[in-house]
A and B are shown apart, each in its own frame.
Chain A
Amino acid sequence: MTEPTMKAPRKAVRPVKWMRENLFSGWFNTVLTLGVAYLLVTSVGPLLNWFFLDANFVGSDPSACTGAGACWVFINQRLNFFIYGFYPDELQWRVNVMFLLLAVAFVPQFIERFPGRKWLGIFGIFGLPVVGYFLIPGGSFGLEAVESSKWGGLMLTLVLAYIGIIASLPIGILLALGRRSEMPIIRGISVVFIEVWRAVPLITVLFMASVMLPLFLPEGVNIEKLARALIGITLWQSAYMAEVVRGGLQAIPRGQYEAASALGLGYWRRMGLVILPQALKMVIPGIVNTFIALFKDTTLVLIIGLLDVLGTVQSTVSDPTWQNVATEGYVFVAFCFWVFCFGISRYSQKLERKLDTGHKT
């Protein structure tokens, strides 16, 4: 015989009050609101028209683009090229397998309480490069070889960013340890290395890798363009990585170093077992942020003639069969990058909040 409980009073949501407080408080805010609203209304309409209402989606050649809006047919038709470059059609399943494995390894990282996500992450960092090393170029296990000059598009972008980050991590850690070392000469070498690479733009590094690297090597030794670009990117990125890791090393309280020494551990065990596990955990958001920066910077390889996703689009928009599709192509690439970068940056912010266990003073 419970008494009919009274409903809680409806929560006072008063749109008018909210608007008065947040949009129309004072004449200045009112003017601002009206101005911004006017701009929004006048620009959203034409944009919507261009993107969707006047746009053409289906068709197979430029003649299908009759509307005044975007010609998405273009993206549709060349999508294969934008994703795989010149990778042979019948072998693209290998790239797809890698895409799938990447997704399996890293998408669960966004989902808390996903069973075994830590192991998937570890596989993504250590196992995936090995799988990719055999799968994508082929040439072993009965897989047909695909020269790196045929790689391109989104796939190449991911290869560059992924290898760049994975390979620069260990070098970066060593450099950071070197910079914090008590031996003046080791410290000096690390500081010079880090500061020189950080001071020069990536383009000069890529130019150097493509022009000067062949000169540095003994005669007869020749490495392909992609590998040269990767060496340049890795060296350049490892300097940035070193600074991120150094931030973590500095944040570890002195007591941890002293306690590890008091246990009688040697330098490498002190670092490997006590300091680095804590420091690296602390700088995961920083590493993710440098990854985003590197991911965006991989577009620069088109300047030395590699066809990454922007490179493939850039080379097709100048194709005379398609008239004036530059904007469509750029919007497509921008969308690809934006989805990746925005998603990852959200992840890193979430991680930052989670890892912030109040150690910072």
Chain B
Amino acid sequence: MRPDPHHKIHPNAIPAWRLSDGASSLTWYFLPILTFTFWYTGAIPLWPTFVLAGLCVVNTIFMMTIVPVIRWKRWRYEINGHEIYLKYGIIVIRKVLIPASRIQNVDTAQGPIFRHFGLSSVTITTAATTHEIPALDDETADAVRNTISVLAREADQDV
């Protein structure tokens, strides 16, 4: 069995994920708010609100503590002249192999939180699938993007 991909993503990913995952976990709070309004209009009892609110708080705590750490530990990538090799996943482990000759597009992107931590993500598109390497530092991301786009240009253009 081939060893895992060599590189880890940037450790700043952990605090960045703490913020972004924590923030996106807030969307789940609409559920207890919804049940609360139902309780207010007298349609249902109060306890579902407490249960859901509790679950939401637990979720947020998880998202801000151990989830980013595990995700960072599991994320591995490797790019060489011929293919891109990724391994990631918290519960479900995925290994992905993308032949460089099949790559059609490479983009880098940076949201406000990632910018604060000096991170970018690289998105790789083939004719069928899209893959993302999250949280590389800016220089690595640019280097990766340039490497891949050179590889992709050299490869034959046929699908």
- A, B: real partners: no
**Residues of A that sit less than 8 Å from B by CB:** none
